[in-house]
Amino acid sequence: MADDKPHLNLVFIGHVDHGKSTTVGRLMLETGHIPEHLIENLKEEAEEKGKGGFEFAYVMDNLKEERERGVTIDIAHKEFDTDEYYFTIIDAPGHRDFVKNMITGASQADAAVLVVDAKDGVMAQTKEHLFLAQTLGVEQLIVAINKMDAVDYDEQRFEEVKERVGKLAKGIGFDPSGLPFIPVSALNGANVAEVHDDMQWADQTLLEALNDLTVPEKPVDKPLRIPIQDVYSITGIGTVPVGRIETGVLKVDDAITFQPSDVDGECKSIEMHHEEVPEAEPGDNVGFNTRGIGKDDIRRGDVAGHPDDPPRVARTFNARVIVLNHPSVIAEGYTPVFHIHTSQVACQFEELLTKMDAKTGEVKEEDPDFLKTGDAGMVKIRPTRAVSIETTDDNQHMARFAIRDMGQTVAAGLCTEIEDR
């Protein structure tokens, strides 16, 4: 672990097959984090499976099923460091069946690299992932326009794709003038770490853009909040919950409470990147051995905090939502799945309070009958089971959510008010 360098969590997002995993694999090779011979071995394996060109993707795609299908299913974590930072890479799946995993990845990231195929340009999931990244609070974005070799490193094609992505980003709430757009060919290594002969016109490499990112201020003064991603039972150690610290500080010997499971324990050790540490801060992905609780007492979606300021648990909550893409309309009684940090819970739209202008927030109608694509509104939500969520005033890191139904993201929102359990 590069202790002397600031740490950033980086998520790679974008449409399926646009080259996210390959870009990550290439970055890790170029920064000396995987040996050349490993790529040669993976290249042979890929060719045997009829997946020539997937060797870099295999660096991230550990699951056998992923290699057979050639798609990323789960979220893989890898580390590499540059001159400025050490990064934990979260390689999020692009395939639409696995967007729920991508949501978890994006909600943990300090910055995102949106990978767009130079040939295909903007596709359905380019839009969906970009919107989710913005909704889930990813403020720093790099756009890598990949597979430039497939368009003969044509600057004009790069500019066309850049213009389309810029227009999309602006509509979603990013300022395109502040976004770095980087032409790359991840498979060939062009413009990833070094300028390519056929792309002398490029402003910078992907590695240079990564070094230009900034570390967000850490909310260490807020109450401890760790959304749990997984719970392991490790022989000789005990129960080890794993998650990313959103706010506050976790120290060895801290008393810990998990909500909404409502169980208490004590933090006996903290591990980060396979090393024990005495404490951990916001942005750190940690596993922490907890005495006093069993593996089955807590689960993914719980939130850990200190007992003197425990995570809130909502009976109902009010939220500002924006409808991104719904085939019909959202009315009272509608019960899709809400992705709130690492939790996935069916929630009912109990009451539609207002319809608002999505851009200005101005109220257009009280007690509307429905909300449709493009509408925003204030709504009252009732989870079908207990869920831990916070308001934007208390802790905006824990207030965001995405709403999914029928295999797609239909809406997204922010919690503004809670009726506690």
Q: Are residues 178 and 240 in the same domain?
A: no
Q: How far apart are CA 98 and CA 408, in angstroms?
A: 10
**Going by DSSP bridges, is the β-strand pair 400-405/337-340 parallel, antiparallel, or unpaired?**
antiparallel
Q: Are residues 361 and 286 in the same domain?
A: no
pLDDT at residue 60, rounded to an integer: 53
Q: Are residues 144 and 234 in the same domain?
A: no
Q: How far apart are CA 286 and CA 228, in angstroms?
A: 10
Q: Are residues 101 and 234 in the same domain?
A: no
- Is 221 inside any structural domain? no
pLDDT at residue 73, rounded to an integer: 32
Residue type (1 letter), 103: I
How many structural domains does the chain have? 3
State the CATH number of the domain containing residue 343. 2.40.30.10
- Is 160 inside any structural domain? yes
Q: Are residues 392 and 285 in the same domain?
A: no
Structural domain boundaries enclosing 237: 226-305
- Is 220 inside any structural domain? no
State the CATH number of the domain containing residue 60. 3.40.50.300
* Concatenated DSSP letters of 33-64: SS-HHHHHHHHHHHHHTT-TT-HHHHHH--SH
Domain boundary among the residues 248, 273, 305 is at 305
pLDDT at residue 206, rounded to an integer: 97
Domain boundary among the residues 164, 186, 211 is at 211
Q: Are residues 300 and 347 in the same domain?
A: no
pLDDT at residue 116, rounded to an integer: 97
- Is 90 inside any structural domain? yes
Q: Are residues 206 and 232 in the same domain?
A: no
pLDDT at residue 360, rounded to an integer: 59
pLDDT in tens, the chain (421 residues): 445 788 888 888 888 788 888 898 888 888 888 778 877 887 788 788 887 676 766 655 544 443 344 443 333 457 788 999 988 776 544 444 445 555 555 556 789 999 999 999 999 778 877 877 776 678 899 999 999 999 999 999 999 999 999 999 988 788 999 999 999 999 899 999 999 999 999 999 999 999 999 988 889 999 999 999 889 988 888 999 999 899 999 999 999 999 999 999 999 999 987 789 999 999 888 999 999 999 999 999 999 999 999 999 999 999 988 887 788 999 999 999 998 988 999 999 999 999 987 655 678 999 999 999 878 899 999 999 999 999 988 887 788 888 989 887 788 888 999 999 8
Domain boundary among the residues 249, 284, 305 is at 305
- Is 219 inside any structural domain? no
Beta bridge partners of 337: 346, 404
Counting Cα atoms < 13 Å in the Cβ hemisphere of 152 gives: 2
Q: Are residues 46 and 157 in the same domain?
A: yes
